[in-house]
Amino acid sequence: MPAIAEYVNRIGQNLVLNSGAKVPFTSKAIDSDEVNAFALPGGFFFVNSGLILKADSESELAGMMAHEIAHVAARHGTRQATRGELAQTGMIAASIVLPYTMAGYAAIQGANMVVPMGFLVFSRKMEREADYLGLQYMYKAGYHPTSFVDFFEKIETVEKRKPGSVAKVFETHPPTDDRIKTAEEEIQTLKARPAYIVNTSEFNDVKACL
C-alpha cells in the first residue's frame, strides 16, 4: 500500500540524512512474513512487512533499518558482490520506479526473490561494523538506542523458539548474545539526551493496517 511505503521511506530518509551514506536511497515495503530488511548498492532499500509486525515500536524498526543503511554506507555489498551481481541492480532499480499497480507490485515481489546473495551475505566483521554505524545513525536521528538491543533480544527469542523463522541472511551475523553485549557497551558511550523518539501513532497505524 502506498501509505505504508511512504511511511517506510520517510523513516529511511531521516536515517540516511544522519548517516555517512554517499548515495540517495529509495525505500519500498515488501509483503513478506519473513523478518528481514535489506539494502543494495546504489541505495535500493527493501523492508519486509514481517519486520514491521515483529517490531514493537518505531525506534526498533528504525534500528534495523539503520543497520542495513550502514551496510551501504560502508560499501559492504559492493565489496562482496561480483560484477554480474552488480549488473542486476538495473533490474531492481526498474522494479522500484514502477507505479503501485499489480504489475509494479509483482515486480517488487520478484525482486525480493532474485536478489543476488552476494549483496546480502556479509562477514561477521562487516556485521559488527554495521551494528556500530547503525547505532550511531539512529541515535543521531533522535531514536532511543536501547531499542536496537531490544530487537536483538526479540530475534534471539524467536531463534530459540522457532529455528529457521528468521531470515537466512542472519545466519552469517555474529551470535546474537555477542551483538547484544557489544551494542550495550556502545550505548554506554553515547551522551544521554533528555528525550528520544520511541514510538509514534503512525507506526501503530501502519502495524494495525498490516
Task: Look at the block and give the residue holding cell 531492481.
Answer: 92
Interhelix angle 146-161/176-187, rounded to 10 degrees, is: 170
30: Cα within 13 Å, side-chain hemisphere = 26
Q: Is 27 helix (H, G, I), strand (E, B) or coil?
A: strand
Q: Which residues are catalytic?
A: 68, 131
For residues 30 and 110, give the distance between their C-alpha atoms in angstroms, rounded to a whole number.
Answer: 10
Per residue, what are the HEC states of 88-105? CHHHHHHHHHCCCCHHHH
DSSP 207: H
